[in-house]
Copies of this chain bind each other. A is one copy, B any other.
Amino acid sequence: MNFSNYPESVSNSNYCDRTWSVTSENDTKIIIPSGALKEKEPPKFPVFFNPAAKFNRDVSIQIYKTFIDFKNDKESFFVDTMAGSGIRGLRVANEIPKITKIIFNDFNHFSIQVCKTNAVLNGVYAKCEFYNKEICNFLSSKISYENRATIVDIDPFGTPAPYLDCVLRSVENGGLISVTATDTAVLSGVYPKVCYRKYYGYPLRTSYSEEMGIRLLISSIALVASRLDLSIIPIFSHGYRNYLRVYCKVSKSNYLANKIHEKLGYVVHCFNCRHRYFIKNLYGVSDCNKCHKRVTIGGPLWTSQIFDKDLIIKIVHSIAEDGNCPTEPKESNPNPLLDFFSVALNELDAIPYYYVNDEVGKVLKKNVMNVKKIIELLKTNGYQSSKTIFAPNGFKTNASITEIKKLLI
């Protein structure tokens, strides 16, 4: 590998002394800086690779594969806009044969050299293209107009907000975008002003802030799309530690874009009594209707469904039938991926928030039962209730905090 092409900032550092390793993820072989496997925070240079994001990529592959099966086009192509080591695109090339072309782009010149090497290593070079451009320049010059992509992925360090327009312009009618945000402090409520200017809504720093972040990310994508005469339908959303990730189907439709206001709303939260509910508009909202204290309002954000259950049921069946487990089995869980999608399948995703059992325990000043039992109890008493993929100790329900307290006291 030719190190003379390192950017100056890199070649002047000690990066050239680094060793390289060949590792594999599922059946994809990959050359990466050895540091990525040893260090807690994988280095950005010369090439970024995060082994801890394997589960995230396993989820991607399941969704892309099922989406492409549903679509059933003769040809389809996948664009990895910030490719890094190329791992996501390479796994697509290896694991989803129906995707006939994979396009890698990265602003880091060296990253694209590594992607090329890795494509050769996996014997998929012939169906790959490589670009080394700034993302918006790349998308508007190479992917837009008569050459739009079936799936476009963006997985930046930090926020995807500045690139959303370019990503949306480059996907075909009926295509899919997958968007990662790692500025979770912003989306979960630590910096509400930054959140408003990047995602057009206010976050709520609550026990369910991860779901608020997901719904703010989706609404911001929907609002950018609507400006471009596009409409989105989220088909899957999840979060893990410092990343939030959403998958949205994109349609060219003024008619649907005009209905965006029906999909957005506000979550009203009372920090005094923990009451929470959602509304479509703010006319007449004042103090908490349970305890009469001042409430806090999050949004506007996506208050409609965030899962395509038809797609998820197909994924669940496919993993179950497949027999093997693409993710590492754990002692407590023989097939974490199957479990993950099964929770999503049953999640009440039209409710844009959840409760956490510790939080309810704090209000009641006692230890409460585990989530599984709470859900059973709520259902027995005629309420809707489900687990949530956003928190293992969380539960969704249409019962109010007063009703939950009555049952658990």
Residues of A within 8 A of B (CB): 134, 136-137, 140-141, 144-145, 161-162, 164-166, 169, 193-194, 196-198, 200, 220, 223-224, 226-229, 254, 257-261, 282-286, 297
A260 to B199, CA, bound (A): 12
Closest 9 CB pairs of A and B: A197-B226, A282-B282, A165-B165, A140-B140, A284-B286, A193-B258, A161-B227, A137-B140, A162-B228
Q: Is there contact, CB below 8 Å, between B226 and A198?
A: yes
Closest to A254 in B: B194
Residues in B whose Cβ lies below 8 Å from that of A194: 254, 258
Q: Is there contact, CB below 8 Å, between A162 and B227?
A: yes
A165 to B260, CA, bound (A): 20
Distance between A177 CB and nearest chain B CB, rounded to angstroms: 16
Q: Give 11 A-B contacts (CB < 8 Å), ordered by A residue.
A: A134-B145, A136-B144, A136-B169, A137-B140, A140-B140, A140-B166, A141-B141, A161-B227, A197-B257, A220-B227, A282-B283
Q: Is there contact, CB below 8 Å, between A283 and B297?
A: yes
With contacts A283-B297, A284-B286, A285-B283 taken as known, whether A261 is within 8 angstroms of B134 at the C-beta atoms is: no
A284 to B294, CA, bound (A): 10
Q: Is there contact, CB below 8 Å, between A261 and B196?
A: yes
Distance between A295 CB and nearest chain B CB, rounded to angstroms: 9
Distance between A218 CB and nearest chain B CB, rounded to angstroms: 15
Q: Is there contact, CB below 8 Å, between B223 and A200?
A: yes
Residues in B whose Cβ lies below 8 Å from that of A144: 134, 136-137
Closest to A258 in B: B193
Q: Is there contact, CB below 8 Å, between A198 and B227?
A: yes
Residues in B whose Cβ lies below 8 Å from that of A193: 258-259, 261
Known: A136-B166, A220-B227. 8 other contacts (CB 8 A): A137-B145, A193-B261, A196-B261, A197-B223, A197-B227, A200-B223, A282-B285, A283-B285
Distance between A409 CB and nearest chain B CB, rounded to angstroms: 32
Query: Which of A145, A194, A257, A258 has the most CB atoms of chain B within a 10 A radius of its CB?
Result: A258
Residues in B whose Cβ lies below 8 Å from that of A297: 283
Distance between A106 CB and nearest chain B CB, rounded to angstroms: 16
A196 to B224, CA, bound (A): 11
A165 to B207, CA, bound (A): 34
Closest to A165 in B: B165
Residues in B whose Cβ lies below 8 Å from that of A260: 196-197
With contacts A140-B137, A193-B258 taken as known, whether A283 is within 8 angstroms of B283 at the C-beta atoms is: no
Distance between A163 CB and nearest chain B CB, rounded to angstroms: 9
Closest to A199 in B: B227
Contacting A261 at CB < 8 Å: which of B145, B197, B285? Answer: B197
A194 to B261, CA, bound (A): 10
Residues in B whose Cβ lies below 8 Å from that of A141: 137, 140-141
Distance between A258 CB and nearest chain B CB, rounded to angstroms: 5
Residues in B whose Cβ lies below 8 Å from that of A227: 161-162, 164, 197-198, 200, 220, 224
A140 to B145, CA, bound (A): 14
Residues in B whose Cβ lies below 8 Å from that of A169: 136
Distance between A53 CB and nearest chain B CB, rounded to angstroms: 25
Closest to A145 in B: B134
Closest to A220 in B: B227
Residues in B whose Cβ lies below 8 Å from that of A259: 193
A196 to B145, CA, bound (A): 26
Distance between A253 CB and nearest chain B CB, rounded to angstroms: 11
A169 to B286, CA, bound (A): 40
Distance between A105 CB and nearest chain B CB, rounded to angstroms: 13
A248 to B237, CA, bound (A): 37
Residues in B whose Cβ lies below 8 Å from that of A198: 226-227
A254 to B183, CA, bound (A): 15
A166 to B162, CA, bound (A): 11
Residues in B whose Cβ lies below 8 Å from that of A283: 282, 285-286, 297
A23 to B63, CA, bound (A): 60
